[in-house]
Amino acid sequence: MTGRVLVLGGTGEARRLAGELVAAGVPVVSSLAGRVAEPRLPPGEVRVGGFGGPTGLAAWLREHGTTAVVDATHPFAAGMTANAVAATRAVGVPLLRLQRPGWTAQPGDDWRRVGSLDAAARAVEGFSSVFLTTGRQGLAAFAGLTAAVLVRSVDPPDPPLPARTTVVLARGPFTVDEERALVLEHRVDVVVTKDSGGAMTAAKLTAARELGLPVVLVDRPPVPDGVPAVGTVAEARAWLADRWQR
């Protein structure tokens, strides 16, 4: 197999994969959605912005002689994953889903799993101070909350927001001490997060465990049927190498 690899990125795994492919002399393009004002750029060629849906992505794959696509977007980027599935099937290009494993509860955790942001908003009704760490996308689901709400995101969130919202602009990773101090400062009594997995944002879960706080955890969407999936960059490299040897 020869040709160009498209990495649909925006995650640490995507950056590491792009770096390893560049180091190995593999032509690779990393695609970023452009939702973060100052993203961490991976090594090699980078494009920023959407493709124009699955039709636009399919046209791009043909135009650029792409021979494999690795979807290493965020575990909750279901729309981009669906577009990648449709486009690669239309063009006949192999697709791999690379996403880190989800978190595993530890002794002392009080996790309340829900299937959506709307369900998470219902689950925190009755709490007095809610810490939202779900990112700035989808905050409209919580707009009706009357509790004090602490929102943390990399870029300023767009309205609508809960009436009593405090916004903290910050980029992780954060230490357990930092998370504990933030939670205590704002008198948080429940944490809401997505099951993103990985160590970079896990400190808040440790802080919640130590403080005895419940965590409302939004389950990630499933990988589409028929799409192979791996959890590590090494496995993604092996999958690509297997295609090059065919």
Domains of the chain (ranges; CATH) run 4-99+221-244 (3.40.50.720), 111-218 (3.40.50)
Helices (H), 66-141: 78-91, 117-123
pLDDT tens digit sequence for 25-76 = 999 999 998 766 667 789 999 999 999 999 999 999 999 999 999 999 999 9
Amino acid making up residue 47:
R
* Cis check: omega of the bond before 107, within 30 degrees of 0: no
CA distances from 216 to 131, 161, 175 (A): 10, 19, 20
Indicate the pTM of the whole model.
0.88
Residue 156: burial class (beta carbons within 10 Å; 0-12, 13-18, 19+):
exposed
Residue 126: count other Cβ atoms within 10 Å of its Cβ: 8
Of 173, 174, 139, which Cα lies nearest the Cα of 156? 139
pLDDT of 1 reads 46
Mean per-residue pLDDT pooled into runs of 10, the chain (246 residues): 82 95 94 75 91 96 96 94 98 97 96 97 97 90 97 90 94 93 97 93 96 98 96 96 77
